Structure 1
Amino acid sequence: MEGYILEIATSDFESARSAVAGGADRIELCANLGEGGTTQSYGVIKRCRESFDVKIYPIIRVRGGDFFYTEEEFECMLYDALQCKELGCDGVVIGFLNRDASVDVKRTAQLVKAVYPMGVTFHRAFDRCKAPFEALEQLVNIGCERILTSGQELTAPEGAGLIAELNMAANGRISIMPGSGVRANNLAALAAQTKCHEFHTSLRELKKSNMTFFPPAFENNNENDHYSINKEAVRVMKKTLSTLS
Structure 2
Amino acid sequence: MLEVCVDTLEGAIAAMKGGAVRVELCSSLSEGGLTPSAGLMQAASKLTIPCYAMIRPRCGLFHFSHDEVGIMLADIEMARQSGLAGVVVGAQHADGTLDMSVLAKLVEAAGPLGKTLHRVIDVVPDPLLAVDQAVLLGFDRVLTSGAQPTAPEGVEMIARMVKRANSQLSVMPGCGLTANNVAEVMTLTGASEAHAACNQPAHGDPAFSDFDPPGGRFETSENEVREMKQAMGTRAT
Q: TM-score, normalised by structure 2?
A: 0.94
Q: Equivalents in 2 of 1:242, 1:163: separation in Å?
A: 20
> Aligned in 2, Cα 1:220/1:122: closer, same or farther, shift over 3 Å?
closer
Q: Equivalents in 2 of 1:221, 1:84: separation in Å?
A: 32
Which structure has the greater CA radius of gyration?
1
Task: Give the deviation of 1:87 after TM superposition.
Answer: 1.2
For 1:240, the equivalent position in structure 2 comes to: 231
For 1:221, the equivalent position in structure 2 comes to: 208
Q: Equivalents in 2 of 1:226, 1:189: separation in Å?
A: 29
Task: Give the deviation of 1:164 after TM superposition.
Answer: 0.2
SS at match of 1:193: helix
> Aligned in 2, Cα 1:220/1:184: closer, same or farther, shift over 3 Å?
closer
Letter in 2 for 1:181: G
- The 8 Å contact of residues 57 and 92 in structure 1, kept in 2 or not, is answered as yes
Instruction: Report the count of equivalent residues.
Output: 232
Task: Give the deviation of 1:221 after TM superposition.
Answer: 3.1
Q: Equivalents in 2 of 1:220, 1:133: separation in Å?
A: 42
Q: How does 1:169-180 map to 2 (within 5 A)?
A: 169-180=164-175
Query: Identity percentage over the alignment?
Result: 35
SS at match of 1:180: coil
Task: Give the deviation of 1:115 after TM superposition.
Answer: 1.3
For 1:33, the equivalent position in structure 2 comes to: 29
Task: Give the deviation of 1:209 after TM superposition.
Answer: 3.0
Segments of 4+ moved more than 6 angstroms: none
SS at match of 2:180: helix
Q: How does 1:70-149 map to 2 (within 5 A)?
A: 70-149=65-144
- How much is the aligned-residue C-alpha RMSD, in angstroms? 1.4
Letter in 2 for 1:221: F
Q: Equivalents in 1 of 2:14, 2:156: separation in Å?
A: 32
Deviations 1:63-96 (A, max 9, x none): 0011000000010001100110111111100010
Q: Which runs of 5+ in 2 are unaligned?
A: none
Q: Which runs of 5+ in 1 are unaligned?
A: 211-218
Task: Give the deviation of 1:220 after TM superposition.
Answer: 5.4
Task: Give the deviation of 1:235 after TM superposition.
Answer: 0.5
- The 8 Å contact of residues 67 and 125 in structure 1, kept in 2 or not, is answered as yes
- The 8 Å contact of residues 183 and 233 in structure 2, kept in 1 or not, is answered as no
> Aligned in 2, Cα 1:220/1:183: closer, same or farther, shift over 3 Å?
closer
Q: Equivalents in 1 of 2:194, 2:177: separation in Å?
A: 7
Task: Give the deviation of 1:14 after TM superposition.
Answer: 1.3
SS at match of 1:86: helix
Q: Equivalents in 1 of 2:48, 2:99: separation in Å?
A: 33
